[in-house]
Amino acid sequence: MDLAWVESHRYASDRGSLALRPGERLLAGGTWLFSEPQSDVTGLVDLTGLDWAPWENLPDGGLRLAATCTVAQAQQAPWPAPALARQCADALLMSFKVQSAATVGGNLCLALPAGAMIALTAALAGEVLIWTPDGGERRTPVTEFVLGPERVGLRPGEVVRAVDLPARTLHRPTALRRSSLTAHGRSAALVVGRRDPDAVVLTLTASVPRPVVVTVPPGSSEGAVRAAVAAAGARVGWYADPHGAPDWRAAQTARLAVEVCAELTEGGL
């Protein structure tokens, strides 16, 4: 879509150039920004000019995904276990054209319940690295950064620089289940499980307005898993939109969580 009100476009080249003038908006892949009218946007500041490496290995064995890392590039990162990144990219059901433009940072900042890069990074206990306008930086867990649909914990002038994934979660076994109303529809419920030594950590997205983490002991009964998921969903409320009714989403999430736990628990539940 043409953004009819945009009069300027400039590439950010350093931190100083990220200071937004009135009417300016940060542009990453543009897959959402160009998808609907933005009558308040008169200028674009293109983050791709910063030339950040899409990913970096961190000294402690963790992995950094740059905010400008595209969904396609994220799948090529040196994951110890690459399946989860691929499954999350597939969960977005984008065409290859969208995958090669949409970024991890854009997905997080848009904060849609079906944000599969949110699911990926929240499930691996990711931390958002945020550049503050005074030249400093701060960190916040992905699960606290995403506050609700199109609502994140960014203050004026702040920019997401990267998401750091800790070494302790990158090597853990994971399982993903997804449900939607139609085969190629947007995710209505997405459950990612991570098997830690002493727990199964379930991250719920798509069916809830913001990512929710539920931890259950390995070998929990089906009833216990369902009860834990129901309680967690009730705390934030089940999401309602044309992609699924809340009660259906609650039922789907519980079913998917049981399946994920079974896959990650030796010998089933």
Ligand X SMILES: Cc1cc2nc3c(=O)[nH]c(=O)nc-3n(C[C@H](O)[C@H](O)[C@H](O)COP(=O)(O)OP(=O)(O)OC[C@H]3O[C@@H](n4cnc5c(N)ncnc54)[C@H](O)[C@@H]3O)c2cc1C
- Contact residue for ligand X among 20, 58, 98, 227 (CB under 6 A): 98
CA distances from 229 to 192, 207, 235 (A): 13, 11, 10
Q: Point out which span in 25-33, 177-185, 210-218, 251-259 binds ligand X (CB under 6 A).
A: 25-33
User: Least separation, in Å, of the C-beta of 106 and ligand X?
Assistant: 2
Structure tokens at 242: 């044309």
- Contact residue for ligand X among 35, 57, 132, 221 (CB under 6 A): 35
Minimum CB distance to ligand X smaller for 98 or for 251: 98
User: Least separation, in Å, of the C-beta of 30 and ligand X?
Assistant: 4
Structure tokens at 195: 């098997």
DSSP string, 209-223: SS-EEEEE-TT--HH
Binding flag, residue 33, ligand X (CB under 6 A): yes
Binding flag, residue 253, ligand X (CB under 6 A): no
Q: Which residues, numbered 46-85, are part of the site for ligand X (CB under 6 A)?
A: 47, 67
Q: How far apart are CA 267 and CA 230, in angstroms?
A: 24
- Contact residue for ligand X among 43, 105, 209, 244 (CB under 6 A): 105
Binding flag, residue 163, ligand X (CB under 6 A): no
The residue among 211, 239, 215, 213 whose CA lies nearest residue 225 is 215
Structure tokens at 96: 């290859």
Q: Is the dihedral of CA 65, 153, 249, 256 positive or negative?
A: positive
Q: Do the Cβ atoms of 225 and 261 come closer than 8 Å? A: yes
Residue numbers at the binding site for ligand X (CB under 6 A) = 25-33, 35, 47, 67, 92-94, 98, 101-103, 105-107, 109-110, 112, 114-116, 159-160, 186
